[in-house]
Amino acid sequence: MNGQEAGPHQGLAKKIENREALIGIIGLGYVGLPLAHAVHGAGYRILGFDVAAGKVAMFNQGVSPIGSVSSEALGHMTVDGRFQATADFTRLNEPDIILICVPTPLNTHREPDMTYIVNSVEAIAKCLRPGQLVVLESTTYPGTTDEVMRPVLEHGGLVSGRDFYLAYSPEREDPGNPEYKTSGIPKVVGGDGEVALQLACDFYSGFVPSVVPVSNTATAEAVKLMENIFRSVNIALVNELKHVYGRMGINIWEVIEAAKTKPFGFMPFYPGPGLGGHCIPIDPFYLTWKAREYDVPTRFIELAGEINSRAPYQVIDRLVRELSDRKAKSARDARILMLGVAYKKNVEDMRESPALVLMQELEDRGARVDYYDPFVPELAQTRAHPRLAGRPSVEWHLDNFCGRYDVALICTDHDGIDYDGLVGAIDLVIDTRNATKGVKLGRNRIVLA
C-alpha cells in the first residue's frame, strides 16, 4: 500500500501479510463453513458466529452438519485451536476482518428479505472499532453494501475508508461439486474505496487461485446476480424446449448430448422438475426488484422465472396423465415413491427444492407420498412447507417396493441408486432427470418428464 496516507489500514495490511489477522465469519452454513475451512488452510485463526447455540456446540465438538466440510476436517480445525464458534455477537470487536455469509431469501411477495444482513450489520455496528475490514459475501441486489450497510456502520461516528473498511465479494459455492472447492474458485472483489479494495484483495489472494477486482461494490454485487440469472434463463429455455420437443416425439436429453459436441457457441443446460437451492430460484428476483426503482422492465428475467416456477406443476400433470392412461388410476389415493428431495444430486441441501412442491401438491390431490433420499434422512423445517417437516426417508428395500407403489417419481438423480432395480420393482417410473438413461430392461416402464 505504498503511497497511502497513514491510517489503521496499515496495521491490518501487516496482519494480513503475516497471517496474524483474526477472521470473523457470521453464518456457518453452506457458505460460511467451507469459507472457514479455506481460511483456516491459509493459516488464519477464525472466530465463527452463528445464532443457533446448538449448532455452535456441534462446531466446537468438531461435528459438521454439511457434506462439503467433513467432521474430520472440522475436527482438525478445532483441535489445533485456530477455529472456534460462538453465539456471542458482542465478540464482534475481536476479529480484524469480518465476513458476512448469511441467507438472503425472498419474502412472500418475492421481494428481498434483508433481515439477516441488517441484523448482522447492526450487531457489527455495536462493536465496530477502527481498523476492521467488513466484507459482505451474501448474494444481494446492487447497492446493498453502499446503501444498507455503510449508513448503519457509520452511525456511531466511524467513517468507511478512514476508520474502517468495507467491501463486497460474492460467494461462489457449488455444493456437491468436488472439482471446485472454495479455495479453487476465483474471487470477485469490490471495495468502498481503494484502500478497502486492496485490503480485501490481499486477504482473499492468500487462499484463492486469483482475485478479480472490480470498480466498486455495486459492480461486484451485479456480477453475482448476472452469473445466476444466466443459469436461470438457460434452464428455463431447456425446460420449455423439453415440452416442445416432447410433443414432437423428440428426446430433449439426446438433443442436448448431441448439441454439446459442438466445440464453440454452445453450453449445455439440463431440464428438471424445477429450480432449487438458495441461488438460482431467488437471485434473479433481487435484480427485478431493484430495477423497478429505476423504472426498467425485466421481462426476460421474469419470464424465465415463470417458466421455471411452472416446472413442478407440469411434472404433476404428466404423472397424473400417465397414471390415468397406463393404470386407469387417478392421483387420489395413488401411492407414490419420490426418489430424492435434495435440490441437486449428491448433497444434503434441500433448500427451495422442487421436490417439496411436488410432494405437497400431490398430497393435496389425495396421493400418498413417501420419499427415499440417502442424503436427507428427515425433512427439515421450511417456511413454505412446514407440514412436511420431520417426515423420514423410507429404507431402500426393492422387495418391499413391489406392489406397494403405483409410481416412482425421480426428482434428484443421486449417484449410487440402483435405478435398474427400481425400474424392475415399480411398473411406472417418471424420470425428471434422465437418471435411468443407463437402464436397459424395462424401458417401456420409464417416462421422461
Alpha carbon separation from 172 to 47, 139, 192, 226, 437 (Å, rounded): 21, 10, 21, 12, 30
- Mean per-residue pLDDT for 2-21? 85
- Mean per-residue pLDDT for 164-193? 92
Residue 123 has pLDDT above 60, yes or no: yes
Q: Per-residue pLDDT tens for 224-257?
A: 999 999 999 999 999 999 999 999 999 999 999 9
- Mean per-residue pLDDT for 15-23? 97
Residue 362 has pLDDT above 90, yes or no: yes
Alpha carbon separation from 28 to 8, 48, 201 (Å, rounded): 28, 7, 22
Cα of 50 vs its chain's centroid, Å: 18
Q: Per-residue pLDDT tens for 206-217?
A: 999 999 999 999
Determine which of 96-100, 348-352, 436-440 has the lowest per-residue pLDDT on average.
Answer: 348-352
Residue 107 has pLDDT above 90, yes or no: no
CA distance 336 to 358: 11
- Mean per-residue pLDDT for 389-400? 95
Q: Per-residue pLDDT tens for 309-335?
A: 999 999 999 999 999 999 889 999 899
Q: What is the pLDDT of residue 110?
A: 83
Q: Per-residue pLDDT tens for 272-300?
A: 999 988 788 888 999 999 999 999 999 99
Q: What is the pLDDT of residue 383?
A: 85
Catalytic residue among 101, 127, 201, 279: 279
What domains are there in the chain, each with its CATH number?
A: 8-215 (3.40.50.720), 269-448 (3.40.50.720)
Residue 201 known to be catalytic:
no
- Mean per-residue pLDDT for 404-430? 97
Residue 71 has pLDDT above 80, yes or no: yes
Q: What is the pLDDT of residue 279?
A: 80
Q: What is the pLDDT of residue 312?
A: 96
CB 49 within 8 A of CB 24: yes
Q: What is the pLDDT of residue 370?
A: 98
Beta strands at 187-191 and 165-168: parallel, antiparallel or unpaired: antiparallel
Determine which of 102-116, 309-323, 331-345, 398-412 has the lowest per-residue pLDDT on average.
Answer: 102-116
Q: What is the pLDDT of residue 6?
A: 67
Q: What is the pLDDT of residue 135?
A: 98
Residue 86 has pLDDT above 90, yes or no: yes
DSSP bridge partners of 168 = 136, 190
Confidence of residue 7 (pLDDT cuts 50, 70, 90): confident
Residue type, 345: K
